[in-house]
Chain A
């Protein structure tokens, strides 16, 4: 059943995707309200799917890649809805909806029947670690989108020749504040995820845990994230530099996500 709900959610997300594609092709907002309503409703079905899946397999529903991707897509949708509710930035949808769609699709296609997972993944700290990390990733992702939007709008304003973007994207200051707020909210989550992960790993893997590539990249990611926050507050790094940094943060998060495949310990199946 949970897979069925996931496909229903995917069907609804496809309307969001249609909005994004039409908007890009026609170079003007199209189907935004339809897309927004569909995404909201899709998130609801997505949530039902996650809960039901968790109840069926009787564990936290994010212990393999497919499950984690599904949860991350759900959190992204939620994050988008929160940001939209707070800042009314319509244009963010063009970037977010396609990615939510693709992630949900990937997750739905690779869902496998419930398998027995390694005992370490049944520890109580794992769900906390994963959820906090995914919320942090969501924030980084939205922050990165903010960075991209900022750079585009800044370019429009510096070039003195307004094109379609100038009219559709929100003011620079709005994007800048959005980016900084999203990142500020995400930072504590990443920090807690890292602490729980480090403590858990030290306990489960023994003294060698610190040499795992996943651990290394995660610490680098956290450090960049820290710089992002600190430079904004103390040195007044805003606008262009902050936008570039936010994109760098996302790139690092991708590498850290990819490190799951390099790590001998931190794989989802928990060998």
Chain B
């Protein structure tokens, strides 16, 4: 069994190369079909996204994967070999399977843990299955890759920590308040990033939103978007004390929220915590606010620092994910052994011929002449071979079928063939 993966990705090829080799979704079935037609190719799946073009194949024994795929890509995408050959990587057997597992688990992505790639791999698999280029072996590899991806997601934090500034703000709010339910948000000023953060906070369950803006009409417009309340810019200080999260991004040249003001209303609100997010440059909020008890202040640099730390945390978690991938690979390889048919065929033959010999020994053939005895033996032997012929022919075709492995196992159970 020869499993190979040949391809290129954002790690090895610039976008100029990737865009020329990329298979648009509508061309994929035809390409798979063409690949499956080749006599050396037993099974094939093509992954083609904006970040990668990769061909996973099971080849007949002794076939070289690299020249075959180069040839295929050059012919299908009408690109001269020299333009992409140097960008290709190729993996065999366990390495090829590992690559698919890591791909599905989002460990090979530009942002580790990003959720889209699993969907893309699933789509590629579905297409190949529909075209009919997925047989028992690749089916087994792909379904195991999805199991590994699911475990990685559930058991590690590769996808946990936020990697955008606006989501990082929501996560910080959760680390302070536990839940956002019942919490009020105050949005001062406007801007893409602050509106996005407010949007995420509302989606995360925040109760109500207040909006203030130098242009009151703009505040009303934004407030309407989330069913919130527009506050007159001059009144904003009297409303801040009723809110829990304050996002500020005005164009004001000086601080609009000062330490003494906050200190005063922290007593009023019985020290319930407050979270200030200052996205404005120059800053809107007195930086010394952060030293007050139960007050947490983050400016744009702080948020970016959190995102950087989150990325490092994802990398650390990725190391654990790699362990899961290795364990799942071990399990896959164990299962694939069943698909190597020779042991099953031999076992089946031994089993039936063994039964035949047992029955011959039990039969009372003493009265027969040597010729008659030979004839009986010959007859039973050919009978068993005839019976074996059908299942064996079927068995040899099984690796081509998506359910092949299950059928081999079924056969082994039916005839009680020991492992």
Bin chain A's interface residue count: 20 to 34
Q: How far is the CB of B311 from chain A (nearest CB, A)?
A: 11
Check B293 against A239 for contact (C-beta < 8 Å): yes
Produce 1/0 per residue, A166-187, CB < 8 A to B. Answer: 1100111110010000000000
Task: Tell me, rounded to whole Å, the shortest Cβ–Cβ distance linking A163 to chain B.
Answer: 7
Contact with B along A233-263 (1 / 0, CB 8 A): 0001111110000000000000000000000
A172–B244 alpha-carbon span in the complex (Å):
14
Q: How many A-B residue pairs have CB under 8 A?
A: 62
The DSSP consensus for interface residues of chain B is helix
Residue A86 CB within 8 A of the other chain: no
Residues in chain B near residue A171, CB distance under 8 A: 174-178
Question: Which residues of A have CB within 8 Å of B293?
Answer: 239-241
Q: CA separation between A166 and B290, bound complex, in Å?
A: 17
B132 at the interface (CB under 8 A from A): no
**Is A211 part of the contact surface with B, judged by Cβ < 8 Å?**
no
Q: State in angstroms the CA–CA spacing of A226 and B157 once bound together.
A: 42
**Which of B161, B178, B273 is A239 in contact with, Cβ under 8 Å?**
B273
Tell me the count of chain B residues lying within 8 A, CB to CB, of chain A. Answer: 29
* Pick from A28, A163, A166, A177: contact of B175, CB under 8 Å: A166
* Cα–Cα, bound, A161→B161 (Å): 14
Known contacts A162-B306, A167-B157, A167-B161; is-contact A239 B294 (Cβ 8 Å) = yes
B177 and A162 form a contact (CB under 8 A): no
Indicate if B271 sits at the interface (CB-CB under 8 A): yes
B264-280 residues at the A interface, CB under 8 angstroms: 267, 270-273
Contacts of A240 in B (CB 8 A): 293-294
Q: How far is the CA of A177 from the CA of B179 in the complex (A)?
A: 13
Q: Which B residues are in CB contact (< 8 Å) with A172?
A: 175-178, 273
Binds B, one of A108-116, A131-139, A152-160: A152-160
Instruction: Find A236's partner among B161, B178, B270 (CB 8 Å cutoff).
Output: B270
Q: Check if A160 sits within 8 Å of B305, measured CB to CB.
A: yes
Task: Give, as a whole number of angstroms, the nearest-CB distance from B40 to chain A.
Answer: 46
Contact partners of A157 in chain B: CB under 8 A:
172, 175-176, 296
B304 to chain A, nearest CB (A): 10
For residue B309, CB closer than 8 A to chain A, the reply is yes
* B302 and A160 contacting across the interface, CB-CB below 8 Å: yes
Q: How far does the alpha carbon of A78 sit from the alpha carbon of B183 in the complex, in Å?
A: 34
> Nearest Cβ in chain B — how far from A233, in angstroms?
10
Q: What chain A residues lie within 8 Å of B125 (beta carbons)?
A: none
A79 to chain B, nearest CB (A): 21
A174 to B179 CA separation, bound complex (whole angstroms): 9
Instruction: Give the residues in chain A near B272, CB-CB below 8 Å.
Output: 236, 238
Which one of B267, B294, B316 lies within 8 Å of A238 (CB-CB)?
Answer: B294
Q: Is the CB of B271 within 8 A of A173?
A: no
Q: CB-CB < 8 A to A158: which residues of B?
A: 290-291, 296
A238 to B298, CA, bound (A): 21
- Which residue of chain A has its CB nearest to the CB of B309? A162
A residues in contact with B273, CB < 8 Å: 172-173, 239
Given B176, B298, B309, which contacts A163 in the complex, CB threshold below 8 Å? Answer: B309
Which chain B residues have a beta carbon within 8 Å of chain A's beta carbons?
Answer: 157, 160-161, 172, 174-179, 267, 270-273, 290-291, 293-294, 296, 298, 302, 305-306, 309-310, 313, 316, 320
Measured CB to CB, the residues of A under 8 A from B are: 28, 153, 157-158, 160-163, 166-167, 170-174, 177, 236-241
- Closest 4 A/B residue pairs (Cβ): A236-B270, A173-B178, A171-B178, A160-B302
**A-B residue pairs in contact (CB < 8 Å), sample of 16:** A153-B175, A157-B175, A158-B291, A160-B305, A161-B309, A162-B306, A162-B309, A166-B175, A166-B309, A171-B178, A172-B175, A172-B177, A236-B267, A236-B270, A237-B271, A238-B271
Extra A-B contacts (14), CB below 8 Å, given A157-B296, A172-B175: A153-B175, A157-B172, A160-B302, A161-B305, A162-B310, A162-B313, A163-B309, A171-B174, A173-B177, A173-B178, A238-B271, A238-B272, A238-B294, A239-B273
